[in-house]
Structures are given as C-alpha cells and as structure tokens.
Copies of this chain bind each other. A is one copy, B any other.
Amino acid sequence: MVDIATRVYNHKWKIDPIIRSLIDTDFYKLLMCQSVFRNRPDTTVTFSLINRSKHIRLADLIDEGELREQLDHIRSLSLSRGESTWLRGNMFYGKRAMFRPDFMEWFEGMGLPPYHLEKRDGQYELTFEGKWHEVMLWEIPALAVLMELRSRAVLHTMGRFELQVLYARAMAKLWEKVEKLRGLDGLRLADFGTRRRHSFLWQDWCVQAMHEGLGNKFVGTSNCLIAMRREVEAIGTNAHELPMVYAALAETDEELRQAPYDVLADWHEEHDGNLRIILPDTYGTKGFLENAPDWLAGWTGIRIDSGDPATGAEIAIDWWKSRGEDPTKKLVIFSDGLDVDKIIELQNRFSGKVRPSFGWGTLMTNDFRGLTPNDSLAPFSIVCKAIAANGRPTVKLSDNPNKAMGPADEIARYKRVFGVGEQEAQEVVV
C-alpha cells in the first residue's frame, strides 16, 4: 500500500533539508561550547570553510541558491524539547547532567548567527563571525551541507536502479570492513564521520550496521542526533580550536607558550575520567609533552590526530614512562585518516602496550571511492576552522606541515615559541 500522506507530505517540500537538528553535530562541539560559554564568553571569532581539494570545484558543482537555502534552513533550527531532555538527562561518559542548567537555558534559546557567502575561483568562500560559542556550532553542519550537496549533485543524474546499486555497493564495501574488523580482539572503535559524511541517512545506516556487525567493539558515534535516536554512546572530547583560539588571544610569547596548557587546565576543572584526553599536536606533540605540567601526565589518555600515528603513540608511551605513569592504563585514541588496514595495524601493534581506541571518520561514512565513473563521489578534504579570534589570526602547526594553517609570519613565530623544527610531511587524503 502507498502511504498517501507521506507521499503528499514529501511533495510539499521546498527543499530536502540536510541538517534537521541542532544536535546533528559532533558531541565534542557541545562539550567545547559549554566550556567556551563558561570560560571565554566574550571572545569573537571567525570561522572559515577551506576546501583543501582544489580540484573539486564546489561552486561549479553546487548551485548557490540551493546552498543558501540549506544554510538558511540551519539558521531556522532550534533545540527541540526531546533533544533538550536528552542533553539534560542522558548519561554521557558515565555522568549525568553533563550539561549545566545555565548552558542548557542558553542553548535552548539560541539560533545560529548569520553566514557570509561568496564565490571565488570555482570555490565558495563561506565565513561565520560572532561570539565564539555561537559561531563554533556552524563548523559541522556547514561541512556536512557542502559534502552532501556535492553528493546530491552527482546522484542527480543517476537512474533508479543505478542508484540502488550504488548504495548496494557502498553497503557491501562497508560490510567488508566490518568483517575484517570483527575478528580484532579488544577493538574499541567509534564513528567520527559526521563532518565529511556522504549524507545524513548514509551515516545513520553506517552506525546501525557497525552496531549490529561489531557488537560491543563499536563503542558509539560522535553524532549526537544519531546517538540519541539509535541509543548508542555519544563520543568525543575536545579539538584544536580551543588551543588555537586561546593561543591567538595570548598577549606575549610567554602567554602563547602557556596557552595550550591553560586550555587543559580549564578542561581539568570541568571533566574527569575518559574525557581527560590530551590533544597534543596543535603546536607539535613532542615539545608539548616535554614542557607539560606533571598533572597532565595523570590524564586518562591522548588523541593522535596528525603525523605518523605509530610514532605519535610511541612518543606518548615514552612520555608517560618518563613521568612514572603506566602506559598500559592509558587510552590512545587514533583519529587521523583511518581506514581498516591502518586500524588493524595499529590495534595489533599497540594492544597490550596501551589501550588503543579508534575514531573512524571519512572512510567509514563516505567511502564511495571506486563506485562511480571518474570517482565523482570520492570523499575530499574540506575543513572549517577558526581563522581569527578578537581580530588576531589563529595558527595551527600540527605534526604534519600539510595540515598547518595561518599567516606565514605567525607560523614562524609559533614555531620559534614552541620550538618546532623539521617535520615529516604526510599526504592529507580526507
């Protein structure tokens, strides 16, 4: 039987919205938002979308009017009652009332601030400016909208069965990964793929398939909406934007040197247990750990998000040992450009030495490589970053010079202040 009402309802859409909820975003964004709301409520920042894959001419593929409609729709969203209840009442990382009442009251009343959109050289320049804790919430939906509009542009020309076979192939491809991973003893893997997913529905499918296929080896998703609906754990801690903005606000070189630790001192006050995860690479992992205060060695773990992941983990292990900590008790979360073979290699290498864990992103939720002619659905590398804070440019060095960003003179200053020397370049795929 045709469900007439559903069909007529679908007819009435002016657009098919990509983002339908303010919590269709990464969990760590909300944790960081609360932290910023509490500690730096007056900071003004600018976020900017950067397409690192210049050969994908987004402005040729995606109609500007459609993009504006999607972005305008996101601005019309506010937190629903059920979403609010979930955020207030759900247990996250073993803790109830993770989000404080004053933050929730503000969040319930907020909407996303305006965006600024221009076309240049076949690309979109998309920027957001305003209060840090508001503007930061644009990052994930902005990326997801551009990724999915690009998917839709490619899918638009395909036939009914061609489409079905495309998704059949993508499903079979994901399931092969599940079958490779399910034999891996002690695996702990989460979905980190919201920002560069093929589409919302596809991410939702992937999470459910991983949940069935991997059982308790699949520990959850970074996507709050999917975590809520599918009743899996919401996963995530913090990101580079915190040290980047704190650093940009520093008045002196000494304050700059201290900024990354200030971030974690604020975090230390708010969170404990598995939320105490160091992200050490913003200005070079090695120097960051060498100069770190002793209390940081007591944190639960570390996230390796750039550079060679095995090297990063070994550096962390040596550091913990030098501070009298037992590495086998520590979480090491790998989250940079993972795919199955790399996950298996890292799990086998570090199992027993630390507690390895994986945040699997784009190649879980958007591995359409090889499924269409000219690889027109292969994922590509876009990011949306804080580029300025209170009018001053931000800088990121990372452990991979290909991921560095900021003005050249500022990069030079940061390298000097943080004592970063030669770095090994790694290709950025996704």
Contacts and interface: CB of A to CB of B under 8 A. Distances in A.
Interface residues of A, number: 22
A204 to B, nearest CB: 12
Contacts of A272: none
Contact of A172 (B6, B165, B174, B213): B165
Contacts of A169: 168, 171-172, 175
Contacts of A212: 159-162
Contacts of A43: none
Given A168-B171, A171-B168, A161 B1 contact: no
Contacts of A175: 161, 165, 168-169
B208 A161 contact: yes
A164 interface: yes
A167 B165 contact: no
B159 A164 contact: no
Interface in A375-408: none
Contacts of A162: 212-213
A3 interface: yes
Contact of A168 (B159, B172, B208): B172
A5 interface: yes
Interface in A124-165: 159-162, 164-165
A175 B171 CA distance: 14
Contacts of A174: 165
Contacts of A160: 212
A430 interface: no
A171 to B, nearest CB: 4
Nearest 8 pairs of A and B residues by beta carbon: A168-B171, A168-B168, A165-B175, A161-B212, A161-B209, A169-B172, A3-B3, A168-B172
29 contacts: A1-B3, A1-B5, A3-B3, A159-B212, A160-B212, A161-B175, A161-B208, A161-B209, A161-B212, A161-B213, A162-B213, A164-B171, A164-B209, A165-B171, A165-B172, A165-B174, A165-B175, A165-B209, A167-B168, A168-B168, A168-B169, A168-B170, A168-B171, A168-B172, A168-B175, A169-B171, A169-B172, A169-B175, A172-B172
Given A162-B213, A165-B175, A168-B172, 4 more contacts: A160-B212, A161-B209, A168-B171, A172-B172
